Structure 1
Amino acid sequence: MLEGLLPNDATHYMRVEASEGETRRIADFIAETCDPAEVAVASFELSEGHWAVEAYAGAAFDPDMLRELVALAAGDALAAATVFGALQEKDWIAASLEGLAPVRVGPFHIHGSHDRSRVPVNGIGIEIEAALAFGTGHHGTTQGCLAAIADEARKGRPRRILDVGTGTGVLAIAAARRLRRPVLAGDIDVVAVRTARENARANGAAPFVTCVHAPGIDAPALRMAGPYDLILANILLPPLKRLARPLAGLLAPGGRVVLSGLLDSHANAALAAYRAQGLKLVNRRSIEGWTTLVLTADGAAPRRL
């Protein structure tokens, strides 16, 4: 997944530079083909109109397979220009973040330390530093979730909030800072939990954000704190479909669940799984080819943004 978690033992990478559209297509092809538990991929802007896509894994890539995916997505010339190499843990993160401009979604300004001064005084700045997880706010999935959090703040203040697969903790931090309510942030990876906890502390959200290692949605720490008025799940289609029943069971009456990590072409499949659990669509937002769905059990009429 583009905003997924870097494999803990990542020592290999692939990289190719191209236009924004080409790098996004390449990233999508890799994300759909490779196991997200083994390969992380991201596209980002180097300078105006000049982008790069990078993928990271613990095991060496198959160059022929990756070049074939690049060729399918963006042509033979870029496939030939794709480079592969080895790296030291963490080196890639600092280098990538240096090239990322701040992202604004509603009141939220997601930025690195080098852009701290660019956050307006009336904005909610969330600083995400180099760490062992993705989640910088630059991908359409994260932006869709941030927009959904801003929408929820205009409707009221949900009392109990759960962030499933928190990664860097950016969504949990955003919810805590905007809604001023307790947020339980869970992840299957202990590195992500540690990263999210550090980010929450650095962003002044530690009093509201509790980060826990949750091997699954049935983890006692998650079940005991429910039911939830707002659930955030920015992951992938297969796990989202598997989680439809347990997530619906954790949702409080009238609560809402925000689903993302979905290509536009995958959104209806996720929607069908949650409708089968009695949830109703109330919001559907597409950003850069990625869909974010907001569903509820209260039967509200659908609204497309």
Structure 2
Amino acid sequence: MTNAVTPATSRAAFAIGEEQIARRVVDLLTESLDDGETAIAAFERSDGRWVVALHFAAPPDEERIRTLVALAAGDDIAQTIAFDTIAARDWVEASLEGLVPVAAGRFIVHGRHDRARVPPNKLGIEIEAALAFGTGHHGTTRGCLLLLDHVLRSKMPRRVLDLGAGTGVLAIAAAKALRRNVLASDIDPRSTIVARENAVLNGVGNLVWSICATGFSAPLFRARAPFDLVLANILANPLRQMAPAMATHLAPEAMVILSGLLPHQTRSVIAAYRAQGLVLIRQMRIDGWCSLLMQNLR
């Protein structure tokens, strides 16, 4: 992979207190703006507020953006939109500045520049930042790795699924530790490619099968099931919605690691999986994010 300088882009960002309103704004902006010229994202902060961010290939019509946001969220929100310009730079190189290896149990996630810093008794996972979400430096990924390390102290799962794989950190970790096949899925085609490239980079390209799929819709899930271990580092709403489908793909006594949760979301997620016959084994909180280890008792 070669580094490339990203050209200067324009950006707009604002915060909204309610998820439903944030989604309404995103839906309206997506319908109204050219998806070839605009990228739109929304994410929840640790304080429960939602941030909506737009990136434009060319300077936007600021008045039009405020009008669209006002239609979905009101004039007060529209007036808080901040517009700025992101200077051209090499984002891969910039993202690695000051980025140190992250230890999580037996695993160490590191960049190319830190290969020599991985102790011989640890499993190194080399991931270049800025390629997709999930470098190990985020609390949700580190929580998953720590719970995975906990599971592997007493179990050797045969069928493993990494749901929402991102860069493939978790799939690579499981493949390295178990030396067994891992199915890695993501709804983003680019993440699927990145996960595949990272698996090859880490010497487990023959063990990690990376596919693009939504939920459990792909036939390969049924072919690989039942899973003994599922790693799911995604958001609370998808986790709750997928609980019934996931349960049908689990082996008896299967372990499930759920992450990407804020503290106030854990109760509802645990309840959704308890309704499917899973029990909470362990809960971990890192940097304000929660990860859950649950076991299938059916």
TM-score scaled to structure 2, two decimals? 0.74
Kindly report which structure 2 residues correspond to 1:122-137, keeping only aligned pairs within 5 A, or say none: 122-130=121-129, 132-137=131-136
SS of the residue corresponding to residue 155 of structure 1 reads coil
Q: Give the distance between the partners of 1:30 and 1:142, measured in 2 at CA.
A: 25
SS of the residue corresponding to residue 149 of structure 1 reads helix
| 1:16-36 Cα deviation digits (max 9, x unpaired) | xxxxxxxxxx99x89998669
8 Å CA contact 1:31–1:41 kept in 2: the answer is: no
191 and 253 in structure 1: CA distance in 2 versus 1, 3 angstrom threshold: same
Q: Give the distance between the partners of 1:30 and 1:120, measured in 2 at CA.
A: 45
Paired residue for 2:276? 277
Paired residue for 2:264? 265
| 1:171-210 Cα deviation digits (max 9, x unpaired) | 0001111122210000111100000000000011112111
Paired residue for 1:251? 250
Q: Please, which runs of 5 or more residues in structure 1 have no aligned partner?
A: 1-9, 16-25, 44-53, 66-78, 300-305
| Alpha-carbon shift at residue 283 of structure 1 (Å) | 1.1
8 Å CA contact 1:12–1:56 kept in 2: the answer is: no
8 Å CA contact 2:277–2:297 kept in 1: the answer is: no
| Alpha-carbon shift at residue 278 of structure 1 (Å) | 1.4
30 and 133 in structure 1: CA distance in 2 versus 1, 3 angstrom threshold: farther
Kindly report which structure 2 residues correspond to 1:1-305, keeping only aligned pairs within 5 A, or say none: 11-13=9-11, 38-39=40-41, 57-59=54-56, 84-86=84-86, 91-130=90-129, 132-298=131-297
SS of the residue corresponding to residue 162 of structure 1 reads strand
| 1:240-280 Cα deviation digits (max 9, x unpaired) | 11111101111111101110000111111110111111111
162 and 119 in structure 1: CA distance in 2 versus 1, 3 angstrom threshold: same
Q: Please, which runs of 5 or more residues in structure 2 have no aligned partner?
A: 1-7, 27-38, 46-50, 70-79
Please tell me the residue identity of whatever aligns with 2:157: P
Q: Give the distance between the partners of 1:30 and 1:192, measured in 2 at CA.
A: 28
Please tell me the residue identity of whatever aligns with 1:207: N
219 and 117 in structure 1: CA distance in 2 versus 1, 3 angstrom threshold: same
8 Å CA contact 1:267–1:291 kept in 2: the answer is: yes
Please tell me the residue identity of whatever aligns with 2:84: F
TM-score scaled to structure 1, two decimals? 0.73
| Alpha-carbon shift at residue 218 of structure 1 (Å) | 2.0
| 1:121-154 Cα deviation digits (max 9, x unpaired) | 2111111114531211011110110011111210
Q: Give the distance between the partners of 2:296 and 2:240, measured in 1 at CA.
A: 17
Q: Give the distance between the partners of 1:261 and 1:103, measured in 2 at CA.
A: 18
Q: Give the distance between the partners of 1:41 and 1:87, measured in 2 at CA.
A: 23
The RMSD of aligned alpha carbons is: 3.4
SS of the residue corresponding to residue 148 of structure 1 reads helix
Length, aligned pairs only: 254
| Alpha-carbon shift at residue 40 of structure 1 (Å) | 6.9
Bigger mean CA deviation after superposition, 125-134 or 152-161: 125-134
8 Å CA contact 1:11–1:56 kept in 2: the answer is: no
8 Å CA contact 1:218–1:246 kept in 2: the answer is: no
34 and 58 in structure 1: CA distance in 2 versus 1, 3 angstrom threshold: farther
204 and 30 in structure 1: CA distance in 2 versus 1, 3 angstrom threshold: farther
Instruction: Return the index of the structure with the highest Cα Rg.
Output: 2
8 Å CA contact 1:261–1:291 kept in 2: the answer is: yes
SS of the residue corresponding to residue 94 of structure 1 reads helix
101 and 294 in structure 1: CA distance in 2 versus 1, 3 angstrom threshold: same
| Alpha-carbon shift at residue 94 of structure 1 (Å) | 3.3
Please tell me the residue identity of whatever aligns with 2:85: G
**Identity percentage over the alignment?**
48
8 Å CA contact 1:264–1:291 kept in 2: the answer is: yes
